[in-house]
Amino acid sequence: KYCMSSEGESESEEDERIASLVTYVGKHGAEESANYLKKELGGKDGMVYGGMCFNENLAMAHFLVTACFDEDSTLTSQIDENKELLVACCKDDQEFQGGFLLAMELYIVRELRKGIAKYDKVLKKLWECDVVSEDLVEEWHSKENALHEFYPDFVLEDAIAIRESAAKFLEWVQEGDE
């Protein structure tokens, strides 16, 4: 489902659809931008961190995450800033939400390693903003090797560490349900 390019491409090579999405989002509303991402750009044969990704939802979610987030401010504040777009892309689409959770995991372990220990706060913000459902977070949490299927440089220790942090969010939600 995922393979690296055999042409020795740089790992930092970005899919051109990321720049297209950034430009489009700057000129259009959330619903239009979500439509553009899913129907015009798509995720077919997407480049994710220099490798070809054949999971279209993961590729589109990677484009979204890369377009919305940077290392200049906190991830939770950026989720607030991009809430309408994130909700428009994820609402009523469990497959996209699943891809989004994997794209977020990949972003954290690749770009924002200090965020691994604080991932529970990121999940809480995504849940509070109705970007992801509790059920899908639980499903993602239960599959420590989910990213391995799509990302060849997967590190199990990272997956375990990010899920240990995520467990704090799930415990918090379950305490609220009781």
- The 10s digit of each residue's pLDDT in 146-155 is 888 888 788 8
Judged against a pLDDT cut of 50, whether residue 53 lies above it is answered with yes
Euclidean distance between CA atoms 123 and 129, whole angstroms:
10
Burial of 10 (C-beta count, 10 Å sphere; 0-12/13-18/19+): exposed
Domain encompassing residue 88: 2-177
Which pLDDT value is given to residue 4?
Answer: 44
pLDDT for 12 equals 58
Give the pLDDT of residue 153: 82
pTM of the shown model: 0.90
> Cα separation of 178 and 172, whole Å?
10
Overall number of domains in the chain: 1
Q: How far is CA 126 from CA 118, 121, 131, in A?
A: 13, 9, 5
The pLDDT > 70 percentage for the chain reads 93
CATH number of the domain within which 20 lies = 1.25.40.180
Structure tokens at 107: 């972003």
